[in-house]
Structure formats: structure tokens, C-alpha cells
């Protein structure tokens, strides 16, 4: 199943390190980050889950819940969590889904045969409060993910959902943004009374409106 931006995130019920969950109910009315890792007791994954554990406050500030899945068992996840805490200095403060039957992995197309086996690649799905997929990201198994980039995209999504702007290349929270090309100058003047810098008629830079 190939999922695209704007699709409804598939719902499922699964056992996790924090008990059985129904995914959509667990998400509630907030945002979610569903990420997969290839296997427990592996080095790159250990650093990744440790990193997510250390970002709990930053995710909470954005009303984002993190949840992780792999094709290993919940028992293995619980045992591995002790290694993560010991080596990374962060607790695993989010659920890890046991997916030995690969139900979730198949729902989200996380198994790529060209990678050579039946474990999951490093996928990320950002899901909004309407349960729509807003961002997807797939890394090779050999490369650990950049969570600063994932948080940056979440910031952009949440900003552009609330204001008629888009964010330029390498944008960081607080940087100038682009006035939506769909807005006429007349309409833009009402929304951005401080004005903008018109580099081209389609490229109007303005201050981030919520700063």
C-alpha cells in the first residue's frame, strides 16, 4: 500500500510497551509521529530512540506524540529499552509497537524488499489532528535520522496551517517567511500590515506572523 500526503493514516490496534492501543484513539486531537526502526538491539536504532526520548518536551510543546514500531516483540522492546537508557542517558518515554506479524509495517509500506530482508526501513510519518498524513520520510537502514529536521517540518506545517504563508529553503522558526502566492497584494495588505519585501511578484518575504 503506497501512502501519499493528504491520505488518512491507516488505523490499527496493536500491543505496545504501554499496553494495547487503538492508533487513532491514542492520537486523540493532537499530532503524531509514527516512525519505524529495522530491529531491536541494533546500534543506529539505539541512538535514534535515545534521541527521541530526549526530545519529549520539544514534542510536547508542539502537541506531538511519538510512537515507534518494528517487527520485534513487545518483550524484546522492553528489554532493549534498558540498553537505550543505559547508553543514551534518556528514558524511552513513548510506546513501541510490537509488530511481529508485520501488520503495521505492511499498512504503512515500511518493508522494502530491495533492502534485502523483511525488516522495516527507517520511515517517518507526521500525522495531523485530522488523521491526515502531512509528511513522509524514508532513510536507508544505515543512516540515523535527523530529528531537528523533523521538528523543523512540524513547525512549518503548524505555522502554515494557521497563516497564509509558506516557508523557504532552510527556514528555521523565527526566520522570514513567504506570503502565499495565492494572495493578491490587496488581500496580503490586510493580513500583513507591516508589509513585505517583494523580490518578485511571486516571491514576497515577510516577518513570521506569530513572532
**Cβ contact 141:114 at 8 Å:** no
Q: H or E stretch including 1?
A: none
| Crossing angle (nearest 10°) for helices 43-53 and 74-88 | 80
Of 9, 27, 45, 92, the catalytic one is 45
**Cβ contact 124:35 at 8 Å:** yes
68 is catalytic: no
| Crossing angle (nearest 10°) for helices 43-53 and 147-162 | 40
Q: Which residues are catalytic?
A: 45
Amino acid at each position: 500500500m503506497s501512502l501519499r500526503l493528504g491520505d488518512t493514516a491507516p488505523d490499527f490496534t496493536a500491543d505496545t510497551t504501554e499496553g494495547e492501543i487503538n492508533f487513532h484513539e491514542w492520537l486523540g486531537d493532537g499530532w503524531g509521529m509514527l516512525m519505524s526502526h529495522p530491529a531491536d538491539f541494533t546500534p543506529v536504532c539505539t541512538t535514534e530512540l535515545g534521541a527521541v526520548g530526549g526530545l519529549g518536551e520539544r514534542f510536547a510543546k508542539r502537541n506531538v506524540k511519538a510512537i515507534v514500531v518494528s517487527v520485534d516483540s513487545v518483550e524484546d522492546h522492553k528489554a532493549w529499552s534498558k540498553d537505550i537508557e543505559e547508553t543514551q542517558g534518556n528514558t524511552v518515554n513513548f510506546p513501541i509497537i510490537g509488530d511481529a506479524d508485520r501488520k503495521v509495517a505492511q499498512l504503512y509500506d515500511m518493508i522494502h524488499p530491495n533492502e534485502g530482508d523483511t525488516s522495516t526501513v527507517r520511515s517517518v510519518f507526521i500525522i495531523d489532528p485530522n488523521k491526515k498524513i502531512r509528511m513522509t520520510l524514508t532513510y536507508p537502514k544505515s543512516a540515523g535520522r535527523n530529528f531537528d529536521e523533523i521538528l523543523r517540518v512540524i513547525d512549518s506545517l503548524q505555522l502554515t496551517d494557521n497563516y497564509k504563508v509558506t516557508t523557504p529553503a532552510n527556514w528555521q522558526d523565527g526566520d522570514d517567511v513567504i506570503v502565499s502566492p495565492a494572495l493578491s497584494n490587496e488581500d496580503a495588505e490586510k493580513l500583513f500590515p507591516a508589509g513585505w519585501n517583494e523580490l518578485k511578484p511571486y516571491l514576497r518575504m515577510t516577518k513570521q506572523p506569530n513572532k
